[in-house]
Amino acid sequence: MKKRLKQTVLVIVFILLAVFAVHVLYRIVRWKDTTGDYVSSIDQLKNTPGDTIDAVFVGSSHVYCGVNPAILWEDYGYSTFDMAVSGQSKEVAYHGMVELLKTQSPKVVFVDLYALTYKGAGDIEGNVHRNLLCLPTSPNSVGLLNDYLGTEDEESRKKMGDYFFRWPIVHTRYRELQKWDYIEYPANEFLRGESMSTRTGAVDLSTIGNNPVQPAELSEKNLEWLNSLKELSEKENFRLCLFLAPCCLSDEGQAMVDGAKLYAEENGIAFMDFSRNKEVLTLNGETDFVDNAHLNINGSKKLTDYLGKWLSENETLSDHRAQSGYECWERDLEYYHKTLVLYDAENASNLREYLNDLSGEEDYTIIICKEFVYDESQSEYADAMSVIGVSKEEFAESGVWVYKENAVKKIAGLDSGQTIVYSVNDTDNLIFHYNGDYQPENLLIGKVDYSNAGFYMAVTVYDKELKSVVSHRGF
């Protein structure tokens, strides 16, 4: 009897250990990226108190780059959210809304129509995973898989099984594992689904919305999607608005959007095409875009300002700025202002302007690397370094300085063969190794090279809240 009891206990212990081991392994290899950045809108939604979101913007990267909830909070106190995912398909748009409606009761939902123009994530594996692994396992996620993949043939059924159980997908990630797979960051609950890009790329505005086409008849699938959105709005009692963020579309794609405009008019649904009617935003092709499909932080303000004015004139949303339970929007606003500082720095014309912009931000650690010997022709650099408290005499010696919390410290000189390890935070080390060659890989954060690479000076900015580098410039 004792022997049998001992064997039973051993079996139970073995099973528990095996389950624990699989659980730990799964947490490491599971897919963690659902928006194009580390933290997903789904994670942010999970960390949002129930029934606090009054307006939602649904769509792809066009939405999370183009609509900024922090601005709507600052100007109106509106609690809004971007339910957006990179390469979002029609199916994910619908089922993502269903997921949000489990905990939220928005008064208005804006759905971007870019999804009309393509079948889904396409051949980009990361986008397929972002679309199909974004929802927690539930009948809703099964419905997403069924709608997206179908089960008409054996291959589709196998794919559905792979995505449902997830293990067949995530076990392929062993070679791509990175530090955040092992050291999982706390969920980012303050971002409201948006991504604030400080990059700028010139765009010819004449390529946006000028397609000389007639409205196309909606395909069966596109009509079914729009009808499902309309039915969901009626069932859940929210106002549905269809819109298109400014982007360059093919003639075929623009014709589909024009066809959706007719659908909206026939069904009494608000419709806004910011490609056809980009003039209302007074966009600047030189300053407001990342590329011809995405707005940067400057362009997103123009689109968001327009949407905020529309909401104030057409909806009755509450100002929640003085209410408890909305702290995540306050933190989002703080992050927005910090990113505006970064945007100004990214567009600074010289080192002094760059350091002036960034030196007051407590969340930033600024790393300055100077490998070349100083001479009087470089006096502008010495003058710029005085902004953070480095004297001309110290600057002449060259090396690596770290500026954080309003104090500067020199951590390395240019001694050949010297290796310095500096802890940026609890997950990242800076490694400086100078061997006298002025070549790349003299300064690394993790495995990424942030050395001078031919510039006289290199400046790297690390955000301690996001635990990542947010800027790197050579001067």
Task: Tell me the pLDDT tens digit for each residue of 54-73.
Answer: 999 999 999 999 999 999 99
How would residue 35 be classed by pLDDT, with cut points 50, 70 and 90? very low
Q: Are strands 418-423 and 399-404 parallel, antiparallel or unpaired?
A: unpaired
Task: Return the number of other C-beta atoms located less than 10 Å from residue 27's C-beta.
Answer: 12
**Which of the residue ranges 34-38, 104-108, 434-438 would you say has the lowest mean pLDDT?**
34-38
3-state SS assignment for residue 7: helix
Q: Are strands 239-244 and 108-112 parallel, antiparallel or unpaired?
A: parallel
pLDDT digits over 403-438, tens only? 998 899 988 877 666 788 888 887 788 888 776 665
Task: Return the number of other C-beta atoms located less than 10 Å from residue 26's C-beta.
Answer: 13
14 or 125: which carries more pLDDT confidence?
A: 14
- Residue 159: what pLDDT? 77
- Residue 39: what pLDDT? 55
- Residue 20: what pLDDT? 83
Q: What percent of the chain has pLDDT over 90?
A: 47
Query: Nearest to residue 443, comparing CAs of 472, 409, 465, 475?
Result: 472
Q: In what order do the strands lie in the sheet with 80-84?
A: 80-84, 55-59, 108-112, 239-244, 270-273
Question: What would the mean pLDDT of 28-57 be, rounded to a whole number?
Answer: 79
Report CA torsion sign: 320, 321, 323, 327.
Answer: positive
* Mean pLDDT rounded to a whole number for the chain: 86
- Residue 437: what pLDDT? 62
pLDDT greater than 90 at residue 289: yes
Q: Could you tell me the two tokens for 412?
A: 């390395």
What is the DSSP code (8-state) at residue 123? T
- Cβ(400)–Cβ(411) under 8 Å? yes
- Residue 288: what pLDDT? 95
- Cβ(462)–Cβ(443) under 8 Å? no
- Please provide the distance, in angstroms rounded to a whole number, between the alpha carbons at the two ends of the chain: 79
Q: Which helix (H) or strand (E) holds 443?
A: strand 443-445
Q: Which amino acid is at 18?
A: A
3-state SS assignment for residue 130: helix
Q: Could you tell me the two tokens for 392?
A: 């001309």
Q: Measured between alpha carbons, how far is 133 from 151 in angstroms, rounded to an integer?
A: 18
**Which of the residue ranges 120-124, 207-211, 251-255, 307-311 would you say has the lowest mean pLDDT?**
120-124
- Residue 328: what pLDDT? 93
User: Residue with structure tokens 């707005």?
Assistant: 295
Long-range pairs for 439-448 at CB < 8 Å and ≥24 separation?
Answer: 442/369, 442/371, 443/367, 443/369, 443/400, 445/367, 445/469, 446/179
The beta strands (E) that lie in 85-191 are given as 108-112
Q: Which amino acid is at 435?
A: N
12 or 123: which carries more pLDDT confidence?
A: 12
How would residue 445 be classed by pLDDT, with cut points 50, 70 and 90? confident
> What pTM did the predictor assign?
0.86
378 or 312: which carries more pLDDT confidence?
A: 312
C-alpha distances (whole Å) from 168 to each of 26, 134, 176, 184 are: 11, 16, 15, 22
- Residue 151: what pLDDT? 60
Q: Measured between alpha carbons, how far is 214 from 77 in angstroms, rounded to an integer?
A: 40
Q: Measured between alpha carbons, how far is 145 from 151 in angstroms, rounded to an integer?
A: 9
- Residue 42: what pLDDT? 85
**Which of the residue ranges 248-252, 386-390, 449-453 would you say has the lowest mean pLDDT?**
449-453
Q: Measured between alpha carbons, how far is 224 from 464 in angstroms, rounded to an integer?
A: 46
pLDDT digits over 333-371, tens only? 999 999 999 888 888 889 999 999 998 888 899 999 887
pLDDT greater than 90 at residue 129: no
Question: What would the mean pLDDT of 157-165 be, rounded to a whole number?
Answer: 77
- Residue 36: what pLDDT? 43
- Residue 308: what pLDDT? 97
Q: Which residues pair with 57 in a beta bridge?
A: 82, 110
Task: Return the number of other C-beta atoms located less than 10 Å from residue 467's C-beta.
Answer: 18
User: Residue with structure tokens 């407001």?
Assistant: 288
What is the DSSP code (8-state) at residue 265? H
How would residue 392 be classed by pLDDT, with cut points 50, 70 and 90? confident
Top mean pLDDT of 12-21, 104-113, 459-468 is at 104-113
Pick the CATH number of 31-137+186-338 from 3.30.70.270, 3.30.70.20, 3.40.50.1110, 1.20.1250.20: 3.40.50.1110
Enumerate residues 6+ apart whose C-beta is below 8 A from 49. Answer: 325, 326
